[in-house]
Each structure stands twice: as structure tokens, then as C-alpha cells.
Structure 1
Amino acid sequence: MKKKIIYRYLMLAYYLLCINGGCNNINERVYYDSFTTDISLSGKTLKTDSVMLRYPFRIEHKDSLAIIMDLHHPDFFYHAFTYPRFEPLFSFGKRGQAPEEILSAENFRLTDNGMWGLDANKHLLTKMSVGNIAQSTNEKETPLDKEIIRALDFALYNDSCFVIPDYSGKYRFHIIDRNGNIRSSHGKIPSRKHKKGNIALAQAWRSFIDYNPGNHTLAMVTQLGEVLEIYNLKDSTHIVKIGPHGEPEYNESGGMAIPSGIMGFSDVQVTDKYIYTVFHGRSFKEIAQQRQPVTDGGQYIYVFSLEGDPLYKYTLDHFIYGIDVNERTREIYAVDVNSNQPVVKYKLKH
């Protein structure tokens, strides 16, 4: 108890010092061990019979259109549906090596007039025109700067730039322009165990990201361990939140990171009010010892405030990977890779 009181006074003193001294940045690292509210949720499975999805990884909607990204589909990476009924429309993003085909899909982002998709193997971002009719066309391909090491996620920053995580270990993320060039680089990996950044550390700290331009909030969640980082790209503040499983654990072999701890987060979405994340929390030992059929995904949705306060922990009746949050209708649509009917709808309770 005394330690907690002393810590609070130190943080208050530091905050007051920054106010009086005119600090621009308040970098804060806080450990959390529980959420304000625990809630169990049961979902409604939606029928998508005419589209056989193999490994649905991401889901997002814009107006009356929803897109699901499937990592292992034999022919197409993207599948369009009506929203919110999820009636199949068409598939696109053909798998292949031809000029307008895709070698690997990492993520996509819907815009007012189409979508952007990231192909890590081809090292480029592609803008596609997608409508509610059975067609899609590639409008622009943006090769990424050669200094960017195999980009595995991205977010839209504004009309002319993207945010892409850095995997060299030197920075945390880059701002790149629509020509793929690095405009600026920001942050450091906030590890206490490993002070020197390298590629292995960057691999272990691989993070999924999302950015909300309305509140200037960039959230990064680690695929291993349990770390949430929040950057305000307007005032440059940086908050680090570390959960009970701690920072990513790994062993280094041949300059590569071999995971040795837990599977952490698999998706994040920043809304106007909250930060929603999908959390797994299972050790690799536990995953390896599963009996067939193996269950993949996370059973928890963690909800944080925009300042990183742990607010709501949802325990689900499905194991999921990607989410799409609609705060207006108080609904979350999630994808379950273990089911032939992978789209599950949940009603928010907060």
C-alpha cells in the first residue's frame, strides 16, 4: 500500500513539474492487472453459406459495404458483403504473381471511395475501387520505401500519408506519403528487458495498429505478451500500458525471434470514445498441447479508454481474430477462424 501511495505522489509531482516546466511530452508507463467490469457475451452467428472462408483474419465495414480478408482462400484474399446482413456480393484481390494480383495480404483499410490493401511480399500498397456491384479495379500501386522492412500492417493517417510500423528495431513507426517514401520516423520499442533495438526485438514486438484522425490517437498492441501503446500524433504524448503477461518473451536464434511466452493481441480498433482490442492470452505450450481439432483465436475483447485505462473485459463464446466495431448501433462483428460460418455479431453491454 505504501509503495502505491508513493508511486502516485511521484507521478503527481512529475505531472506538476511538466506543467510548470512546459514539457511537451508526458511519457507514462503503467501496469494494469484487472478491468473495471467483466462481462460475458454470447454472439449470433450469421450465415455466409455461398462463400467458403478458410481463414478470415480481418473484417471492416463502410456504410452498406463490408469486406472480409481471408488469408488462406485459394483464389481471392477479399470478399465483399452487404452490411449489416452480410449477404455475399463478390470476391476480389486475386491470389497470384501477375501485375494486378496479390502475393500476400496483411491488412486493408476502407475509404470513402474504395480501399487500400497491403501486400508484404510485393512490398506495396494498392488502392482499389470497390463498389456494391460485382467488380473491383486497381487504381494505384504504391511501392514502399526500400528502408521499410517487410511491412505487416498499416493505417490511414490523412489524405496524403500512411502509418506503418518499423521492423528494423530503430523506431516504432513511420509516416509515409502516397508515393511510399518515409516522411518521418517516430518512437522506440519500450522494452525494459532489451535496451538495444534490433530486428529480432522488432519481430518479437510486432504490433497491430489503428489510427483515428478525429482524436489523433494511434494505438499499437503486441502480438506477443500484453502491451498497449497509445500515441497522440497531435501533441506527441506516448502512453505504455502493460498487462499481467508483461512484455513479449522470446529467444533469439540466428538473428530471429523465437516466441516463448504467450499469444497476445490480434486486432485493435480506435473509435471516437474507446480502444477495442482482441486478446488471446494463451501460452505457446498450451496451444501446442491442444487436442484435435485445434482452437485458434482469442476469447476476449478488452476495451480501454483513449488514455489506456482498462475499462471492460468481454469474455466471448467464440474464439476470434478480427473485429469491426459500430458504436452507433452498439454492435461488434467478429470473425471466427474455427467455424464454417465465421461471422459473429455481438451486442455491446457498456
Structure 2
Amino acid sequence: MSVAVALPETMTAITIAAPGGPEVLLPGPRPVPAPAPGELLVKVEAAGVNRPDVMQRKGLYPPPPGASDIPGLEIAGTVVALGEGASRFKVGDRICALVTGGGYAQYCTTHEATALPIPDGLSAVEAAALPETVFTVWSNIFERGALKAGETLLLHGGASGIGTTAIQLAKAFGARVIVTVGSDEKAAACLKLGADAAVNYKTQDFVAEVKSFTAGKGANVILDMIGGPYIQKNYEAAAQDGRIVQIAFQQGAKAEVDFMRLMLKRLTHTGSTLRSRPVAEKAAISAAVVEHVLPLIADGRFRPVVDATFPLSDAAGAHARMDASAHVGKIVLTVE
């Protein structure tokens, strides 16, 4: 390990005392981690809060083997040490990164391949809202879903961090976007970001609204994190040769589905996870993000949407806001 700055032996990190509500997230001392070969040690300035963190807090999403038990999947800050062989960045560089865990802390390690330079003009808070969302959106909507210019994307959870990112990226690449949201306020926020139509699922039938908006054709690509009863509805809302990409199951991974529509419409129903994928696969996504997404920040066509910030010591407050589902965009922890 090559160290160019003096580092403390311990740091403040958030631990999960026991599976449960936001109150189980407690700050406490932990050893400062050492970067392994190919890794960077980052002094964290901000950390994104994501649904997988909530699932981990509840005891429903354990870290993959070898990952830190500290929650947090994306960070922004300054490189303070290099592991053996790490050469993509140097000490002092400001980066944001996708990590397998450990983000809710003053220091965190990341493989250099899953780190991104913080684009000019972005604050650390905005940069911490980037990695998990852009990696997820690019790999699922544009790679697995193969969204093309002129096609229609149906995006469930349009006001989420993933949703607000997907709206902007899909529009930047020439697609039409329909979102589902849980309130008229969220609908207005999504329309302001560029969505072509917003459906309040509490008062409207999204299948009927999608058919109406597309003159009966349906959506070419559907990004779904709801699952459960939405699976059958997605088949009904999809266009011929539509692609449905599953990234979560907030309403359950089991459903009774009429698969005849899958055949008659020639649908593709695929899905993926991100956290447990090998570094090489994440590195390929990172390279695509650098090529296709970061330039959109430079020319003003995409900017992370931040809903609220909380100090690291109040990670419980950040999770309480996420549990309330009132946010538009990302919730971010700030680290002293």
C-alpha cells in the first residue's frame, strides 16, 4: 500500500445493530480499511442512500462474500491511498465510486475499475448520487433493454434516484418516457425533468394510460423494480417485441402470470443485480458510463437530482425519509 497522507487508525462508520427500522443504524468506531491490490482508499465526503441499503438494514439483503458489513453502495471523496498495482488514479484525485459496501463511513475502499472522476461542476453530494444509479440505468435500460431513439420507455418509480436518472438519460438518447409515480407532486417533478407522460398509479391504470399514449402499441422497454402484480400488467403494457427488465421486487418475487402474452408479443423478460457482479463486468459498465453518460453532464443534458442530505450520524433520519417514499431523486449522507 502506497500512502501519501497521514491516516487515522479508526473512523466513524454506521453499523446495523440488528435487523429492523431506521433506529438500528448507529454510528461507532471501526478500523480504517486498507486497500487491497487494485483498490483505492477514499476519504468519503458524501455517500448515496439506496433501496438495497434499506433491505440490508432489514436483514433481507446480506452483503456478498468478502464485502463490508457497513452499508452504503456509492461514495464520493478524495483518494488518500493506493493498493498495490492501482494506477488509474493518484492520491489527491476526487472520485465517485460504486462499492460493494462500506459507504456509510469516513473512509471506504473501492476497486479502481468501478471509480469515476467527479465531473467538473458537480459537488461531492451530487457525485455521490451518480454511481449506483448510472451503472444501473445504463446496464439495464440501454444494454439489457436495448432502448433506441424513437422508442417508448415505461419507467416504474419515476421519482426515485434511478427514475430521475433514467428520465434524463432516455430523453438525451431520443426516447419517449412514461413514468409511474405515487402522487401528483411526483408526477409534476418527473414532467419537469422531461418525462413525456406521468401516471399516478394510485388513481390511474398505467396499462390503459400507456396504451393511450402510444396509440395502442405499448411500451418498447419497461424498467420494473416493483414485481408482484406488476409483472402481468407489464406484459399487457408492453409492445410487440418489448423488453421488460427487472431490477427489484418491492411487491414480491412471486406472481401468477399468463405467459401467453410473452409468446404472442414475442416479449423478452430479463433482469439483473449489480452488487454481486464480478469486478470485470462492473468495469465494462464503468467504461460505458465514462463514454456515454459523463459527456451528458458536461453539456448540461444530465444532472443528478438530490432530494435531501443528512449527516452521517443521522443515517437513521435518511432511511426514515426513504421509508416514507416522499423523496424525489437521491438521498445523500454528508461526511465530516
Give the alignment's TM-score, normalised by structure 1.
0.26
Higher relative contact order (Cα pairs below 8 Å, separated by 6+ residues): 2
Q: TM-score, normalised by structure 2?
A: 0.27
* Larger fraction in strand: 1
Greater percentage in helix = 2
